Amino acid sequence: VQLQASGGGLVQAGGSLKLSCSYSEHTFSRSAMGWFRQGPGKEREFVASIRGSGDRTYYADSEKGRFTISRDNAKNLLYLQMNKLKPEDTAVYYCVADSRLHTVSTWYLNGDEYEYWGQGTQVTVSS
């Protein structure tokens, strides 16, 4: 199983970046996918999640209206479009995947509930 995130980099505040994540499993279209991040000296936090079919998305309150999560099931790719970036968005961003059934409706908020984690890509936003 391989999750490979890419697209990170250095950007000025107010700018945009688009992260991508490739997922090698044939279960991609049945897997919920998401993004978490961990900034310097901070705890890991939920960013966004998307259901396998792509019909429903979830965002952390601080990202609503600025970030958009999407997926291309034909290409096994997950995306995170980040606009209006702020210095506080500086973090390592991780893509995650899980194909299991969950009984708790808000399970996607908990990083421990995901089967697989990618290696992370660094996003740095300068002021």
Q: Which residues pair with 32 in a beta bridge?
A: 98
Neighbouring residues of 41: CB distance < 8 A, sequence distance ≥ 6: none
User: pLDDT for 85-106, tens place per residue?
Assistant: 999 999 999 999 998 988 888 9
Closest residue by Cα to residue 33 from 93, 102, 116: 116
Query: Which are the contacts of 60, defined by CB distance < 8 A and separation ≥ 6?
Result: 45, 46, 47, 48
Task: Quote the pLDDT of residue 101.
Answer: 87
Q: Is 116 helix (H, G, I), strand (E, B) or coil?
A: strand
Other Cβ atoms closer than 10 A to 77: 15
Q: What is the pLDDT of residues 41-87, one digit of tens each?
A: 999 999 999 999 999 999 999 888 999 999 999 999 999 999 999 99
Q: What share of the chain has pLDDT > 90, as a percent?
A: 84
Asked if residues 125 and 9 have their Cβ atoms less than 8 Å apart, the reply is: no
- Average pLDDT (24-37) is 92
HSE of 4, CA atoms in CB hemisphere, 13 A: 6
